[in-house]
Amino acid sequence: MMMSFFDQFASPSFLGIPLIAIAIALPWTLFPTPPARWLNNRLITLQTWFINRFTNQLLLPLNVGGHKWALLFASLMVFLITINMLGLLPYTFTPTTQLSLNMGFAVPLWLATVIIGMRNQPTVALGHLLPEGTPVPLIPVLIIIETISLFIRPLALGVRLTANLTAGHLLIQLIATAVFVLLPMMPTVAILTAAVLFLLTLLEVAVAMIQAYVFVLLLSLYLQENV
């Protein structure tokens, strides 16, 4: 029984062919393409307003050099939100519960911010490893600690997204299983548990959106340190 709870996180396959590529590519087919008309429908208008507001809020603390990342950050944000939301539907697979996928997003983008900082302003980038006013005996220790914390950043990005989504899916499945078990024996308790399940589902919808935003926000903060 305990192993079946984790079966939902196994990558699906058909005739030995992994279907995770389809699960990743499917969200892009759901986005409406803007037409050439002056007046758009409500869905495209809402989508454009959301992307503009998010991009303005995200790039506000960055200088002009960081604005080149606007398209990448907006695309990644919409992509992660769509995948996380689709994963809450029954009988679906959530690719972002796979640590390998999240690390595949986190490591190259984090490394890109570090390389930009080392190329454009190496003195400032290396200066983050040693806070100003540090006593001389603590300099070697602090450099080691700051270097370790720098390399832990992509791991924290990937693990945070994976852990939050995995925990939410497990809670939903556990409570749903409890509802089905309690329904024949204690209908009143089962109804109350189903109400808790509904509230938890609403919470997971919020978590799916917030975690996607936090992922992109932290990447923008790493970029802010290096531009």
3-state SS assignment for residue 130 = coil
E strand or H helix at 160, and its extent?
helix 139-185
Angle between helix axes 187-224 and 139-185 (nearest 10 degrees) is: 160
Range of the domain at 117: 1-223
pTM of the model: 0.83
DSSP state of 69: G
Mean pLDDT of the chain: 84
| pLDDT for 186 beyond 80 | yes
Q: What is the pLDDT of residues 4-38, one digit of tens each?
A: 666 666 777 777 777 777 778 777 777 777 677 77
| pLDDT for 1 beyond 50 | no
Distance separating alpha carbons of residues 104 and 157, to the nearest angstrom: 11
Please report which confidence band the pLDDT of residue 226 belongs to, taking 50, 70 and 90 as the band edges: confident
Say if CB 166 and CB 9 are below 8 A apart. yes
Structure tokens at 139: 């300099």
What does the pLDDT average to over 154-181?
A: 90
> Domain count of the chain?
1
Beta bridge partners of 14: 17
Residue among 47, 43, 51 at smallest CA distance from 73: 51
Please report which confidence band the pLDDT of residue 39 belongs to, taking 50, 70 and 90 as the band edges: low
What does the pLDDT average to over 67-88?
A: 88
What does the pLDDT average to over 77-83?
A: 90
